[in-house]
Amino acid sequence: MGSAGALSAAAARQVDAAWRERAAAWARWTLSVEEAPRPGWTRGLVWRALTRGALVPPAPEVEESLLARFGPRAASACAVLHRIQSACLLAAPAGMPGSIETDLALLREFSTDESAWLAETARRDLARSWGDMLRLYPEDIAEGEAEPLFVSWTGVPRAGRRAALVWDGPAEDGVEPALAAEAPPFRRDDAALAALAQRFLRVEGLRPGQVEGAAALLSGRDLVLALPTGGGKSLCYQLAALLTAGTPLVVAPLRALLRDQARRLAAVGVTRVGLLVGDDAAETRRAFAGLREGRALLALAAPERLDSGAFRDALRAMAESGGVPFVVVDEAHCAARRGHDWRPAYRVLGARLRVWASSSGRAPALAALSGGTSSGALAEAERVLGLQDPVREGRGAARGNLSFRIQTSCAPDHLVRLRELLTRRLPEGRFGPGIVFCPRVDGPLGAASVAEDLAWSEGLDAAAYTGRAPAGADPSAWEEAKRRAAEDFLAGRRGLLCATRAFGLGVDRADVRFTVHLGLPASLEEFFQQAGRAGRDGAPASCWLLLQVLSARRARRWAALPVESLREELEGLGREEEDDVSRAYALHLASFPGEETERRGAELALSLLGDPASPGPAFASLPGQDPEALTRALVALEEAGILSLEERLRCGWKVRLTGGWSLKTARDAAAERVARDYRAVETSRRSSLAELVELALSPGAGEAFAARLSGRS
């Protein structure tokens, strides 16, 4: 283990239970000062960073010194250092004090020399961070005030000294540094951004694209950021969230992804995070309260949260109290995706958030982030989200540490080949860590079934993760089981996970050594996204694709057929004529039932809503019919501007008509939206699937995939 994070590990090993209880109460200690500090932008931002959680690690180089000098007392020394820095920000009204004196030695935990060393170390470390913040937001502060600051642990001020008194327990009226009414203009400084990222997020350096992404968000610009899988997209908005006022919002498609983000932030001391994943009522209530009161530094939510009235109310309160400086849509290519796990809420995120997160007429910046995505899919996401003159930052997807291996067979023997691969061909084999991506939830190649087969046949300790519960499983029990499976895998307690695409986005375990796909993903981008879970630590990793292909010639011919001709041919196949290619195309076509079918669906949905000329609330419901077909139709109407989706109900939707439409113009607008979806999205998705098939069937397929990922072909 490097020095970063060593103090936390040392504390976990060496500090007794009594100190753990004391550490948990750090957030409840109090400072008393003679007068409130003057409002200032950088002072407020440094305070924000220092109070980002109850357990705030020091700078990495300071941590090394604490461990070397204090040994088992390092955790207590860290608490002292943090309180001295907080006292500096509160008690020195104009700027950094020239020196700091304390009576800490009277408590007899630290000697006089040790107390003086802690005070000066705290002052120097704070001065560096404040100085870096001033390079980003230039403003006038007084440096090196002649009058020293006195920090008292005994409650006794010192004559002739500006004082801050420290004691345990909450204060009745808390004082915090107030931000200036207007922020100074942001000035990009790459060295300052890197230094602050190291100080507050414990990263050794910023990668290409991360500085540009964070700077765009801090400048208030819309952003399109495409970094390779494992390229550190999340650091861009995490850093920007610490270096601005208000509560940024991050929307991501998977609860596992959101929980992983919150876990990683907590590991570097950022616990003031509003986590809204919907599977813990008490946690959700606390998160809502933190958002409404402006306590959260960052909010993490699934897109469907926007269907909740409580979330919208909290978002509006958040916008009015502290502001929402920017909204990040992570895995933004989901806005252009269709499928059995399609997320229609992604299609309308941009328009909703521009309104609900606005304050005093100012809308937040929007950022679309993705990795392993084609330019076409990202361009579609940019259009759907309504980004305005965005900064576009993209880096090559090269992952030279990944090797690709493709096995094709005429037989449906995926499990036989998987067992042989895991136990004989992979050097890591039985010990993982690795992920097996399964094509479905249920059936012979369902994730739970595959995990059970590996456990029974080979004694492998495999867990399963799927978005919904498998057939016959209790949904509530499954939610807990899959949450535990994800946490155990990410924490390194389990080495093998069998998962559907529900685990393929943004979840980060650095030491995954292999991925295995049983059958074809929905697109080339999805394959690279999921395969990219491997080797995020930069060490060699292998990505396997196990396919059943009955005829390469037939597979290539399907790629050239018009969509309806392809549909007709696939519908005529017998079960013995099906293979992975036919199943992948069939799933694609199920997501796109046909332009005429969807146009009629939009017209049917329109007929349920009353007169489109009159604005106001309406309800759409088709009991006994496919709920996703109705949702797809209503999304088309929303994108056409005819209505806005407000809340998903048990048997339909509550919507609000915009008004001003005749029935004919509304139908025409909906038909054009559907046609555009087929021209852009359907064609692009089918083309990506065809490219995936062609690469898998090509001579030297492994090298072909590596070349395609690196942009050499």
In this predicted structure, the answer to whether residue 561 has a pLDDT above a threshold of 90 is yes
pLDDT at residue 34, as a whole number: 60
The answer on pLDDT for 139 being more than 50 is: yes
The whole-number average pLDDT for the span 153-161 is 80
The token duo for 151 is 């920090």
Q: Which pLDDT value is given to residue 2?
A: 37
Question: Best-predicted range by mean pLDDT among 88-92, 223-227, 511-515, 523-527?
Answer: 511-515
pLDDT at 35: 61
In 325-464, alpha helices (H):
349-356, 375-385, 414-420, 447-458
Confidence bin at 6 (pLDDT 50/70/90) = very low
pLDDT at 106: 93
Question: Is the confidence at residue 507, as pLDDT, over 70?
Answer: no
- Average pLDDT of span 170-196: 75
Of 115-129, 359-373, 435-449, least confident by mean pLDDT is: 359-373
Higher pLDDT: 525 or 68? It is 68
pLDDT of residue 116: 96
pLDDT for residue 337: 59
408 pLDDT more than 60: yes
pLDDT at 269: 85
Best mean pLDDT range from 238-247, 479-488, 638-647: 238-247
User: Which pLDDT value is given to residue 182?
Assistant: 74
Binned at pLDDT 50, 70 and 90, residue 266 comes out as confident
* Residue 516: predicted pLDDT: 96
Q: What sign does the CA torsion over 368, 391, 198, 3 have? A: positive
pLDDT at 290 over 90: no
Which is more confident, 500 or 648? Answer: 500
Reported confidence tier of residue 400, pLDDT bands at 50, 70, 90: confident
pLDDT level of residue 505 (50, 70, 90 thresholds): low
User: 26: pLDDT confidence band, cut at 50, 70 and 90?
Assistant: very low
Answer yes or no: are the C-beta atoms of 504 and 529 closer than 8 Å.
yes
Strongest mean pLDDT among 82-91, 200-209, 611-620: 611-620
pLDDT score at 15: 33
> Which domains does the chain possess?
6-167 (no CATH), 206-394 (3.40.50.300), 402-590+695-710 (3.40.50.300), 595-687 (1.10.10)
In order of 268, 309, 329, 508, 652, the CA distances from 646 in angstroms are: 37, 8, 19, 33, 11
More reliable by pLDDT, 321 or 583 = 583
Mean pLDDT of 420-430: 73
Residue 16 in this model has a pLDDT that exceeds 80: no
Percent of the chain with pLDDT over 90: 40
Structure tokens at 598: 């969807």
Q: Which stretch of DSSP H or E encloses residue 519?
A: none
Q: In what order do the strands lie in the sheet with 249-251?
A: 273-276, 298-301, 249-251, 326-329, 365-370, 223-226, 391-394
Closest CA to 281 of 256, 308, 320, 254: 308
pLDDT of residue 9: 42
**Selection from 141-155, 519-533, 600-614 with the highest mean pLDDT:** 600-614
pLDDT given at position 426: 75
Better-scored residue on pLDDT, 648 or 578: 578
Name which of 609, 612, 621, 610 is nearest 658 in CA terms. 612
Q: Say yes or no to pLDDT of 4 above 70.
A: no
Confidence of residue 483 (pLDDT cuts 50, 70, 90): confident
Task: Calculate the average pLDDT of the chain.
Answer: 83
User: How far apart, in Å, do the first and last CA atoms of the chain sit?
Assistant: 39
pLDDT at 131 exceeding the cut of 90: yes
622 pLDDT band (50/70/90 cuts)? confident
Q: How confident is the model at residue 345 (pLDDT cuts 50, 70, 90)?
A: low
DSSP secondary structure of 619-682: EE--TTS-HHHHHHHHHHHHHTTSEEEEEEETTEEEEEE-----HHHHHHHHHHHHHHHIIIII
Q: Which residue has the higher pLDDT, 85 or 33?
A: 85
What are the residues whose beta carbons fall under 8 Å from the beta carbon of 640, sequence distance 6 or more? 666, 669, 670, 672, 673
